[in-house]
Amino acid sequence: MSKAFLIFMFTLTILLFFKATIILAQSGHLPEEEKNALREIADQMGKKDWNFSQNPCDKSSNWLTEKIPNMPWCNNSLICNCSFPGDVCHVESIALKGQDLAGVLPRSLAKLPYLKTIDLTRNYLRGTIPKDWVYTKLENMYLSVNRLSGPIPKYLGNITTLVCMDLLSNRFSGTIPPELGKLLNLVNLDENIPMVSLDSTGALADCAPAPTRQHMRCHYSTSADALDPLAYLH
């Protein structure tokens, strides 16, 4: 075997090694605690098709499905921020719109300390919003067109990082708790069933300043379609 050939093979091996290193650095790695949290979240919601043998942050089709232009109501994506030292990634956004999820809102969301956005629009999720979510740093919470029920939890007012909370078309009942007045950002409560009412004067007591309060809309709806995600496919 010639010396030139050996040098060529050695050089090729080095190049392939560095290429693999670069690819790994680009995708980064998710801490084991966050992987375990994702497993729990999948179990609690009924999400069956996440492939945990793959890196959730490598943008594979299992974790980040390409959007279909004529189906804007569907979204299956998990987005990581991999700019942390040591090629460490953290989950920043989970969007599972129109995925026919029939479980409950996952308590384990609180185990993702860097999560900013959760979008579970147009599913069949039931129950209420877990108290554990108070410990998140969520900025965007999209839960419209599900089957969430019971009173709107008072503790939601403690998630002060919220920029947008969309509870459109669920089964919430009772009054809007004055604790939501702590939120300084947009709250969308349209078309809840039964009617989500204000206090006896028709106002939200101890609410945030008027420029914020104008974004809190409460409409009455008797349409059964408001509980069916399929009714919103238009």
Domains of the chain, by residue range, sit at 29-232
- The predicted pLDDT at position 200 comes to 39
For 68-72, 92-96, 112-116, 154-158, which range has the lowest pLDDT when averaged over its residues? 68-72
The two structure tokens encoding residue 75: 């979204």
CATH code, 29-232: 3.80.10.10
pLDDT of residue 82 exceeding 60: yes
pLDDT band for position 64 (cuts 50, 70, 90): confident
pLDDT band for position 6 (cuts 50, 70, 90): low
Identity of the residue numbered 85? P
Average pLDDT over residues 209-218: 37
- The predicted pLDDT at position 155 comes to 95
Instruction: Kindly report, residue by residue over 14-58, the tens digit of the pLDDT.
Output: 544 444 333 343 468 999 999 999 999 999 999 999 999 999 999
For 73-87, 117-131, 174-188, which range has the lowest pLDDT when averaged over its residues? 174-188
Residue 162 makes CB contacts below 8 A (sequence gap 6+) with 138, 139, 140, 141, 156, 183, 185, 187
- The predicted pLDDT at position 197 comes to 40
Q: Is the dihedral of CA 189, 191, 193, 197 positive or negative?
A: positive
Would you state the torsion angle of the CA atoms of residues 115, 128, 163, 45, taken in this order, to the nearest 10 degrees? 30
- The predicted pLDDT at position 75 comes to 86
Instruction: Tell me what percent of the residues of the chain surpass a pLDDT of 70.
Output: 63
Instruction: Kindly report, residue by residue over 148-180, the tens digit of the pLDDT.
Output: 999 999 999 999 899 888 888 999 988 888 888
Instruction: Kindly report, residue by residue over 174-213, the tens digit of the pLDDT.
Output: 888 888 878 876 555 554 544 334 343 433 333 333 334 3
The two structure tokens encoding residue 37: 């949290």
Average pLDDT over residues 113-119: 97
